Amino acid sequence: MREIQFREALREAMSEEMRRDSSIFVMGEEVAEYNGAYKVSQGMLDEFGAERVIDTPIAELGFSGIGIGAAMNGLRPIIEFMTFNFSLVAIDQIINGAAKMMSMSGGQYSVPIVFRGPTGNAGMLGAQHSQNFENWYANTPGLKVAVPSNPYYAKGLLKSSIRDNDPVIFMESELMYGDKGEVPQEEYLIPLGKAYVVKEGKDVTLVSFGKMMKVAFAAAQEMEKQGVSVEVIDLCSVRPIDYATIVESVKKTNRLVVVEEAWPLAAISSEITYHVQRHAFDYLDAPVRRVNSMDLPLPYAPTLIEAILPNVKRTIEAINGVLYR
């Protein structure tokens, strides 16, 4: 099977859907003339023209509102944020507009819109450009939230998100755009709300999503060298969450560790921990452990970034903690 970059998988997903459905368009900062800040939309202006690949001013509140209005009137916009840190400028439109419109209109208006762009730490970019908001948006009824971990999931999840009749928050990682992975040439979809067991194991369940899957895999491989069999689950979506897959795995392994880049308070890992103790308490042989970023704004210095973010060492310590408490 061919290997393509994460950014290429996203571009294929958007382009294929735009060829299939003329109501889909892309809008955001630098998506057209500059071919995208991270070259995700490279070449799309040439193929689809300026009416469907639209450069905007630096005005997230404005172009997000335009996109929501367009979606309410029969179009299917894809809104790109240069980073989800900038989505805070548009959060009123997303949460008080897109997420609530179906409910407030009594089902008269759906909002089939995708808000996509990079999330989380991307290196030495400072505290205001290095934040995770997956748990913020996942807390909002009316939104769906997808966080792919590789090119294969990125393409399949984005195609499903574009076809969905509800607003979808689609969060990528700036550090993964150049990652390569196997992606079939034939069409495929990956449903929102389905988690996948990407590595079978019997001693402990390790759950993660997005770029933290790299940390999870590396930790699992190190534990295998010590004779510990780790089952790894990729959530893919954090709203809805596939609780059933997690619970079934915990019933088998009797132990759970969750790795997540976001801050610990009210995180996705907190929600998973609650759900597992509620629905699989009698199967747990140890308390659930979480590995999150430290509860601090992310510094600029690379040594401090490394110390604050989840890493393989801290994940192995958590796994050992549930095994040998």
Task: Show the domains of the chain with their CATH numbers.
Answer: 3-182 (3.40.50.970), 196-323 (3.40.50.920)
Instruction: Give the active site residue among 12, 60, 231, 271.
Output: 60
**Annotated catalytic residue, options 8, 129, 172, 174:** 129
Beta strands, E only, 38-104: 53-55, 76-80
- 20-36 tens-digit pLDDT: 999 999 999 999 999 99
Q: What is the mean pLDDT of residues 56-74?
A: 97
As a three-state string, the secondary structure of 297-320 is CCCCCHHHHHHHCCCHHHHHHHHH
User: What would the two tokens of residue 299 be?
Assistant: 């510094």
CA-closest candidate to residue 37, choices 129, 152, 132, 111: 129
275 is catalytic: no
* Structure confidence by residue, pLDDT tens digits, 245-277: 999 999 999 999 999 999 999 999 999 999 999
Tens digits of residue pLDDT in 171-207 = 999 999 999 999 999 999 999 999 999 999 999 999 9
From the list 56, 113, 126, 63, the residue with the least C-alpha distance to 90 is: 63
pLDDT > 80? residue 287:
yes
For residue 256, what pLDDT is reported? 98
Answer whether the bond into residue 240 is a cis peptide, omega within 30°: yes
Give the contacts of 181 (CB within 8 A, at least 6 positions apart): 3, 4, 6, 9, 150, 151, 152
Rounded Cα gap, residues 12 and 44, in angstroms: 10
pLDDT above 90 covers a percentage of the chain that reads: 97
279 as an active site residue: the answer is no
The first and second tokens of residue 119, run together, are 């999330």
**Residues of 303-322 as b/e, b for ≥16 C-beta within 10 angstroms?**
eebeebbbbbebbbebbbeb
| Residue 324 confidence (pLDDT) above 90 | no
pLDDT at site 1 = 86
In contact, 267 and 260? CB cutoff 8 Å = yes
Tell me, what's the pLDDT at 123?
Answer: 87
Q: Which residue has the higher pLDDT, 292 or 124?
A: 292
CA separation for the pair 236, 160 (Å, rounded)? 12
- Beta strands (DSSP E) in the chain are 3-5, 24-28, 53-55, 76-80, 114-118, 144-146, 168-172, 180-182, 196-199, 204-208, 230-234, 237-239, 256-259, 289-291
Q: Which amino acid is at 266?
A: A
Average pLDDT, the chain: 97
String of DSSP letters for 127-195: GGGS---HHHHHTSTT-EEE---SHHHHHHHHHHHHH-SS-EEEEE-GGGTT-EEE--SS-----TT--
Q: Of 267, 265, 202, whose CA–CA distance to 241 is shortest?
A: 267
Lowest-confidence range among 56-70, 115-129, 220-234? Answer: 115-129
Cβ-based neighbours of 8, under 8 Å, separated by 6 or more: 151
**pLDDT digit string (tens) for 11-22?**
999 999 999 999
The three-class DSSP label of residue 107 is: coil
Distance CA 185, CA 162 (A): 19
Under DSSP, the state recorded for 86 is: G
Give the pLDDT of residue 261: 97
Task: Specify the pLDDT at position 325.
Answer: 63
Name the nearest CA neighbour of 214 among 146, 299, 148. Answer: 148
